[in-house]
Every structure is written in structure tokens, then in C-alpha cells.
Structure 1
Amino acid sequence: MKRENFYPVVLALLWGLNWPAVKIVLSEVPVFVLRSSALAIASVLLLSAALLLRRSLVVARGSWLPLALAGALNIAAFNIFTAFAQLNTTTSRAAILTYTMPVWSTLLAALVLREPIGRDKAIALMAGAAGVTLLAAPVFAAEEFLGVILSLLAALAWAIGIVIQKKWPIAGDPVATTGYQLLIGAVISVVCLLVTRPALPEFLSLPVFGAFLFHVAGATSAAYLLWFTILDRNSASTSALLSFAVPVVGVLSAMLLVGDRPSPADTAGFAAILLAAGLAMRSSRNRDKSAPETSRL
């Protein structure tokens, strides 16, 4: 089995576990302090890795605009909206609502990029949408509207960023371009930090410090590199659908780490989303059999 087939699994684990990790960090660290520091450190880590690996840091002149837009949407908007969403609803609900992203991304890709929606993608889309609906229903019942709106804004920003990257591919080494996008997200977060001027934490407890380290090294540096690699090798809709497994990991880890508890409807939602992820992965494998690989990590 190709190692690329494990990328979505590793990504689901890293991003899924990141939801409770961020919730833990936010108990002591303000949103813009977290996002500014984490994105800045992660960008330095990746750009330093690119130098050590002797990767080119050059980006084609025509790629800077889509790179900046992708950084603003995929990184800054997504990370800021999801952090505030977790402060206004439960971690599991924020994760599930944010992962309506594959629905919007698949639809946008069909409209803007003219990507076909085959049988597997159509079933995956319907199963994923059904799963998200089951898991999101209690949020609406509880009238946690701000958490709902922020999560959906994060999903929409991410979906638009995906389509932009597929419409105008970024020419450059993936390690370097991922580092640049994280740097753009850090700059935007720093501007927000300077405007809002929140109180800085005097110290971090051990659990918060550990969660922060995982967030920076695993869920930001490594996970975004994996994500942009998946996006480079697959269509926009397939890439988005492959991420449907992330909220399942997010909800299960939230149960273990921050005390969230699923209902029977949640369990049905998990099953539907796992079906969607499996079909998306099968669609990706079928595409790989009919087309040559385009890039290497």
C-alpha cells in the first residue's frame, strides 16, 4: 500500500485531536495570543525545515496572490473562527459544524472548477451531510447561534481557500509554500492581537503547555503540510471529502479529554461520516489508478 493512502488517516488523527487540545489551551490563553504564537512558530519550523532539506524557498511571481488569499482563508480565517466557535459552543459541535466544509467545497468545485461529481462522491456527500445534520441538530435546539455562525464561517472560508488553490495552483515547494501560508496567517493574527490587546497569560499549566506543543508541532506544522500535499494530489472535492473523518476523531477525543458526551444521534452521525470518508478514499484510489501522480512530498 502506498504511503500516500495513510495521509488522510494521519491527518484525521492530528486535526481531530487538535480540537480538544485547542479547547484546553483556550482555558488559559486568549484566542489571538494562541493563534499569533502558534502560527508564527509553526511557520518558522516549516521554513527552517525547508532550508535544512535544501528545498527552494522561491515562489513564482504569479503564485503570490493565490498564496496570500489561501493563507488568509485556509489559515487565518479558519483558525480564528474555529477558536471563537469553541468559546461559544461545545468542542464536538464546533468540530462537526466546521466539517460541513466538504459539502461547500464539493459544490463550489462543481460550480467554479467544473469538477464532476461521480457516484462515490455523490453518496459520500449525502452521507456526510446527513451525518453532520444529525450531529449539528442539538446545537440549533440549544440556540447556540454564535457558535453555529462562527463554525459555518470557518467552513466556508476553508472551502473557498481550497477552490482558489485548485483554480490557481501555487508554484513552489510544498514545505516552503505551507510555511508561507502559516506566516500569512500569523501576520493577520498579530494585527488582530495588536488591535484587541488581550491580557497575556503569566504562566501556563503543564496540561495547557503540552496541548500547545501538540497544537504547534503536530496539528499545525505537520498537519497543514499533509493537508496541502493531499490537496495537491487530489481534486478539490475529493480532498475535502477525505477530511470527513476528522470530526469523528475530534468528537471522540473531546469525550475523553474535555468531557463531551455523545447521544444516540451522535453515534448515527459518526457512522454516516465514516461511510462518507470511506467512499471518498475509494474515489481517490480510483482516480490514482487512472492518472499519474503529480508531485511528491
Structure 2
Amino acid sequence: MLRKIEESSSSIHNKKFLLAILILLVTLIWGYAWVLMKASLAFMGPFTFSALRFSTGTVTMFVILFVLKLGLPPKDQWKHLAVIGLLQTTVVFLFVMYGLKFVDAGKSSVLLYSMPIWSSLLASIFLSEKIPKVKGIGLALGMTGLLTILGWDVIVQQDLTVLAGELLIILAAVSWGISNVYYRKKLKNVTNLQVSAYQMLFGSLGLIIAALITEWGDAVHLTTESLYYVLFTGVLASALCFTLWFVILNSIDMVTATLSTLLVPVFGMIFGAVLLNEKLGINVILGSAMILTGIAVSQLYKRKTSPS
């Protein structure tokens, strides 16, 4: 009996460790991807890049589905997959990539990762997920950290194009939050790999249409560098990370998952400063510390309330 308890405890510990590794991997890749997304604008239009990126990701996902011999998702789930693809891929990356024309990569990642507040609020309304007091404090710390990094851009006068870009990225964050909740509420009998592949397929179709309508005839410079941007963001940041994100959502509650992704803007800021020479001020350092503290508070609460 004691041996079974020890094996069960070890299994739980191993699962927590694996989830922590998955979250760190996803956030690192997504943080670095912001630098590549910004840099890609020197080679092609924002919608063209997104269309190429997610088309590449879609092909990668369907190769995986073929190798693993996973069939089609249930027909009654296709409409839900299409909605998720529209919300999480088409809308999010149309708004983000256009906003990146006017906003730094690091700051853009901060704005998009206001997503946790929208996900958590929507989950509490539509999924009846309660936000415990301690986790609420952790979430508040994380969001305060984001606002500290963002600075006073939203309340002081500045270039209207920059404000418009920031607004688009915030709207993208809201769309992502809606997608997370819709996924939890509507998707049934569909594997994580199928969700990732088919939502990306539908989302890519939307991006292709947008690129054809708005950027037809615009120059596209395909070089070794630009192809690297497309392949890294398509295969790793899209196909791999979106799949892992759905696995994470299925394994832990919405608040903890979304709070953990606040690491992405921290990495986005660091990569932006190192690789793009974007300014890394004291507000970024303080904000990052708040974000990490918020994540620690959330995880501490979970450990304290876990059965011994």
C-alpha cells in the first residue's frame, strides 16, 4: 500500500515537472518568435508573412496526423474548430502583425499577453471557474507587472498610429481569451493534435484571403533569413507550441495556465532588447519581477491546496 502511495506521489511530481518544462519551452519559443515576427516585416507584408507562417504550420500538423494515423474529427465539431481558428489564428495574427508595424516587438508581446485577464474573467462567467483569492492576487500582480512594462502609453498623448497599433494588439488579446474559453466549453471528442491542426487550417484560410485582398502584388523577398523566420514561427511557434498549449489547458486550470504564459512578454522584452536593440528600462525590470512573483504566488497556492 505504501509503495502504491509513493508511486502515485512520484507520478504526480513527474507530471508537474513535465508541465513546468512544457510551459517554459512554449513561453521561450513564443517570446523569441516576437523578434522574428517584427524582423519579417522588412521582407514582406504582415498578412503575407502570417499566411506563410500558418500555412507552413498547417502542413506540419497534417503530416503529424498522417504519421500517427489520426482520422478526421467528428463532423459536429468542425464548426467549433472553424470558430477557434478564426478567433485564435486569423483575428489574433491579423491584428498583431499589423500592429507590429507601429509597436516594438517587446511591447507588442506585453500587450497581447493581457490575454490572461480576459481568459480568466470569461472563464469565471462562462465556465464557472472560481478565482481563489490568492490566485487573484497572483493574477493582479502579473497584470500590474504588464502595466508597469507598458508604462504610460495608454494614458499619455502620443503618435496616433502607435495608439492604433496598440489597440489592435489588445483586441487580439481579447480574441485569444474568447478562443480559450470557447475551446473549453464547446470542443468534445477531438484530440489535441486534431484541434491544433484543424483550427490552424481554418485560421490559415482566413489569413490567406486577407493577404490576397490587401497585399496582392506587394513585394515578397524570400531569402535564407526570411525563410528561417517563416519556418521557425510556422513549425515551432505555431505547430508545436499551439499543440502544447492545448495539452496544458487540458492538464491545469485556466487561471494557472494563462498566468504562466505571462512569461512570454518577459522573454519577448529580453529578446527584443538583445536582438533588436529595443530599450529595456527600469520599468521592464520591475514589471518582469512582478510577473514572476505573480506566477510564484499562483503556484504556491496550488501546492498548498494539493492533497498530501
Q: Which residue is 2:136 aligned to?
A: 122
Relative distance call for 1:285 and 1:243 in structure 2 (3 A) is: farther
Higher alpha-carbon deviation: 139-148 or 33-42: 139-148
Relative distance call for 1:109 and 1:202 in structure 2 (3 A) is: closer
Instruction: Give the letter for the 1:171 counterpart.
Output: N
**How far, CA to CA, are the matches of 2:221 and 2:145 in structure 1?**
40
2:36 is the alignment partner of 1:18: no
2:103 is the alignment partner of 1:85: no
Q: Which residue is 1:294 aligned to?
A: none
**How far, CA to CA, are the matches of 2:55 and 2:302 in structure 1?**
33
Q: Which residue is 2:57 aligned to?
A: 42
Instruction: Give the letter for the 1:218 counterpart.
Output: L
- Deviation of 1:36 after TM superposition, in Å, equals 1.2
Q: Which residue is 1:58 aligned to?
A: 72
Higher alpha-carbon deviation: 75-84 or 168-177: 168-177
Instruction: Give the letter for the 1:73 counterpart.
Output: L
Relative distance call for 1:208 and 1:236 in structure 2 (3 A) is: same
After TM superposition, list the pairs within 5 Å mapping 1:140-289 onto structure 2. Answer: 140=154, 141=156, 142-143=158-159, 144-282=162-300, 289=306
Paired residue total: 288
Relative distance call for 1:205 and 1:44 in structure 2 (3 A) is: closer
Relative distance call for 1:281 and 1:218 in structure 2 (3 A) is: farther
**How far, CA to CA, are the matches of 1:272 and 1:120 in structure 2?**
15
Relative distance call for 1:256 and 1:183 in structure 2 (3 A) is: same
Q: Which residue is 1:293 aligned to?
A: none
- Deviation of 1:199 after TM superposition, in Å, equals 3.3
- Deviation of 1:193 after TM superposition, in Å, equals 1.7
Higher alpha-carbon deviation: 41-50 or 118-127: 118-127
Structure with higher Rg: it is: 2
User: Matched residues, percent identical?
Assistant: 24
Give a deviation string over 1:19-69, Cα, whole Å, max 9, x none: 001111111111121111111111111111111122x23212332222111
**How far, CA to CA, are the matches of 2:133 and 2:139 in structure 1?**
10
2:114 is the alignment partner of 1:100: yes
Instruction: Give the letter for the 1:131 counterpart.
Output: G
**How far, CA to CA, are the matches of 1:237 and 1:46 in structure 2?**
27
**For the Cα contact (< 8 Å) 2:82–2:203, is it kept in 1?**
no
**For the Cα contact (< 8 Å) 2:196–2:242, is it kept in 1?**
yes
Q: Which residue is 2:42 aligned to?
A: 27
**For the Cα contact (< 8 Å) 2:84–2:199, is it kept in 1?**
yes
Structure 1 regions of 5+ residues with no counterpart? 291-297
**How far, CA to CA, are the matches of 1:57 and 1:150 in structure 2?**
37
Secondary structure of the structure 2 residue equivalent to 1:139: coil
**How far, CA to CA, are the matches of 1:217 and 1:282 in structure 2?**
34
Relative distance call for 1:262 and 1:202 in structure 2 (3 A) is: closer
Give a deviation string over 1:91-121, Cα, whole Å, max 9, x none: 1111101111001111111112110111332
Q: Which residue is 1:132 aligned to?
A: 146
Relative distance call for 1:169 and 1:33 in structure 2 (3 A) is: same
TM-score by length of 1: 0.91
Relative distance call for 1:188 and 1:49 in structure 2 (3 A) is: same
Instruction: Give the letter for the 1:248 counterpart.
Output: V
Give a deviation string over 1:254-291, Cα, whole Å, max 9, x none: 1111111111111111111112233344456678x56x
**How far, CA to CA, are the matches of 1:188 and 1:279 in structure 2?**
39
Corresponding residue to 1:4 among 7, 16, 19:
19
Give the root-mean-square deviation of aligned CA atoms.
1.9
Relative distance call for 1:231 and 1:39 in structure 2 (3 A) is: same
TM-score by length of 2: 0.87
- Deviation of 1:81 after TM superposition, in Å, equals 1.1
